Amino acid sequence: WSLSLDESGPRFLDEWSSSYVFSSRLGGRLRCGGHGSPQPRVEWVFRDGFPVGNVTGLREEILIPFIHFQVLPTGNIRFLPFPIDKFRPDVHFATLRCKLSNPSGTIISPEVVVRAVLDTPFHIQNPDVAVIRGNNALLRCLVPPELVDYITVTSWVQDGSLNIYPNFQTGKWLLLPSGELHVFSVDESDGRKVLACRTLHKLTNEVMTSEGARIVVKEPCLPPKLDLDLNGIPSSPEGYFSKSSNRRSSISHSFPAGILLLL
């Protein structure tokens, strides 16, 4: 047996990611492209080597009651949308590999962990904050912990009309990369404004706006107080998390406004 000059072994066309996440409502698609001479055959397999799409033997129960995925003629694998009650951990939280074969050889991709995120109803919370006049306020957009990795804050909206984006420069607001809104030098007029956060779901492209929150402006004479609870620590009994950065932030409160010294 000898290799013809017109033959070449299979090669992958794409770089491989170690994970792939999709929404149960929209489904998803994984691409496995390759080239070689002759054109290689594409096959998807589970971690144990069992072919994806084979409905015989022990895996018959996975595919017959409800079709979860399709291996397309192109070699891509399509994950079909499914209702929540059809979730199967062995399919929707599975490890797959793509295999390319032709007469010149066989190659197999690194493992890809495929995970479906269940599309369940959720709410964005935006609680009121109490701030002493002259100090700074920090408003948080709180999302359910299981969706923290998939929802990003794109802007804040004042009184339903003024959009505050990350590049919005007035000296009054600062939208942090974490999604929190920093309001400087709070005065009585800030207490009359309604502020809501707007979010984007990365998997479904769903845009959601929270209910409006207010800044409660107070004017007692108080000694300085430092608030350090801004680093992703659960901020309500329901277990919601702040979309905060890895760096610790702090807001101080006093009247008159104090000076923060880092020692």
123/144 Cα distance (integer angstroms): 8
How do the domains of the chain map onto residue ranges?
A: 16-117, 129-253
The top-scoring range by mean pLDDT among 83-92, 165-174, 209-218 is 209-218
Residue-wise pLDDT tens digits, 98-115:
999 999 999 999 999 999
Distances (CA, A) of 142 to 13, 31, 193, 227, 228: 40, 34, 19, 18, 17
Instruction: Quickly list DSSP for 90-159.
Output: HHHEEEEEEEEEETTEEEEPPPEEEEEEP------B---EEEETTS-EEE--EE-GGGTTTEEEEEEEET
- How many H-runs (helices) and E-runs (strands) does the chain carry? 2, 23
The mean pLDDT of the chain is 81
Question: At residue 142, does pLDDT exceed 60?
Answer: yes
Predicted confidence band of residue 248 (pLDDT cuts 50, 70, 90) = very low
Q: Residue 238 pLDDT more than 80? A: no
Beta-bridge partner residues of 30? 77
Write out the two tokens for 204. 């479904």
Q: What is the DSSP letter of 10?
A: E
SS3 210: coil
Nearest to 123 by CA among 60, 51, 211, 205: 211
Q: Does domain 129-253 have CATH number 3.40.50.800?
A: no
**Tokens 């590999």, residue located:** 97
Higher per-residue pLDDT: 135 or 72: 135
Domain pair 16-117 / 129-253, same fold:
yes
CATH topology of domain 16-117: Immunoglobulin-like (2.60.40)
Residues 129-140: pLDDT tens digits? 999 999 999 999
Place 225 in a pLDDT band, splitting at 50, 70 and 90: low
Task: Please tell me whether residue 53 adopts helix, strand or coil conformation.
Answer: coil
CA of 56: how far to CAs of 86, 91, 206, 227, in Å? 20, 15, 38, 60
What's the pLDDT at 50?
86
Integer Cα distance of 208 and 145 in angstroms = 16
Band (223; pLDDT cuts 50, 70, 90) = low
Is residue 14 predicted with pLDDT exceeding 80?
yes
Q: Are 112 and 17 in contact (CB under 8 A)?
A: yes
User: What pLDDT, in 10s, does the model give residues 228-237?
Assistant: 554 444 444 3
The DSSP H or E segment spanning 63 is: helix 60-63
| Confidence band of 203 (pLDDT split at 50, 70, 90) | very high
Give the pLDDT score at 236: 41
Q: What whole-number percentage of the chain has pLDDT above 70?
A: 75
The torsion angle over the Cα atoms of residues 66, 71, 76 and 78, rounded to 10 degrees, is: -10
- Residue partners of 26: CB distance under 8 A and separation at least 6: 81, 119, 203, 204
Measured CA to CA in angstroms, residue 135 lies from 131, 195, 224, 228 at distances of 7, 18, 11, 15
Between CA 68 and CA 13 the distance in angstroms is 26
